[in-house]
Amino acid sequence: MKAPSYRRSPRRARLIALAVVLAVMGLAAASQALPQTAPHQPTTLARPGAETGPPGTQTGARDGARDGARDGAGTGARDGDGTETGARSGPDSAPVTYPPRGAGTFAVAQGDGPPLGHAGPLLRFQVVVENGIGNLDPATAAVTVEATLGDRRGWTADGRWTFQRVGPNQTPDFIVYVATPETRDDLCGMGPDGYTSCRNGDRVVLNVARWVEGVPGYGAPVGQYREYMVNHEVGHRLGFDHELCPGAGKLAPVMQQQTLGLQGCLPNSWPHQPAG
């Protein structure tokens, strides 16, 4: 017996073809309605310890008192790798650069300097600069520190102390460090700060950010601020505590926390003012 032959009607074939076309059109429309996903972008992580604004501050003086709020952040430009570019260390030198944290090791200024002062017990000191700070060698830093401590307006003026810088392999009475902001925190031992300088025992720690930039609104050249920071922190080593502004328009005491604001006083780098 011959099997029956089944034939699809023309109308049924047209309906099936129409359904297929409609299904394809629907899928195309749906795919265009889906949100487009951008290629994956790598995440940029913040440098450890980086701050978007100045953190709370602490002094490195022996009493460990906490300083108040600052009046602004530094003004150095930050390169793409996080390195700060600051002021020049001399008129013909390249700008000093520094990362948030240096190597944690230090280069010592070579040789011995002359005695500074005319009377009083001798305090010997070294000047060291953290490795990783660019365009500031220990000899250059030592010139500034010695000139400041030996000035007739400085701590030697009243004959109570004499200073002398000594080189490596000697035992100083204190060490003047020029350190990056995060290494400054390690040396000061007072918690995160990264902005101010400090004195901690026989460590006189000068924050390189302040060394090259000073502070906003100080009202004097950065070289004058640099003299202030040396005298202020060495003053702590000599046993002096913080002082307050004695009145609007008067010279700020060198032991006033001028980094955090002048409070109406005028900027001053020196513990003594010559008569006349």
**Three-class DSSP labels, 15-41:** HHHHHHHHHHHHHHHHHHHCCCCCCCC
User: In terms of pTM, does the model score above 0.75?
Assistant: no
| pLDDT given at position 93 | 72
pLDDT digits (tens, 9 = 90+) for 105-132: 999 999 999 999 999 999 999 999 999 9
**Who's near 72: CB < 8 A, 6+ residues apart?**
54, 215, 216, 217
Beta strands in the chain (DSSP E): 77-78, 84-88, 95-98, 106-108, 122-130, 162-165, 174-179, 198-200, 203-207
pLDDT digits (tens, 9 = 90+) for 189-200: 999 999 999 999
**Who's near 256: CB < 8 A, 6+ residues apart?**
242, 243, 244, 245, 262, 263, 265
Multiple choice CATH, 77-260, 3.40.390, 3.10.450, 1.10.3470, 2.60.40: 3.40.390
Question: Across residues 151-171, what is the average pLDDT?
Answer: 96
For 186, the enclosing helix (H) or strand (E) is: helix 181-188
3-state helix, strand and coil shares in percent for the chain, rounded to the nearest 5 = 25, 20, 55
Q: Is the pLDDT of residue 205 over 90?
A: yes
| pLDDT given at position 249 | 97
pLDDT digits (tens, 9 = 90+) for 44-65: 222 222 222 233 323 333 333 3
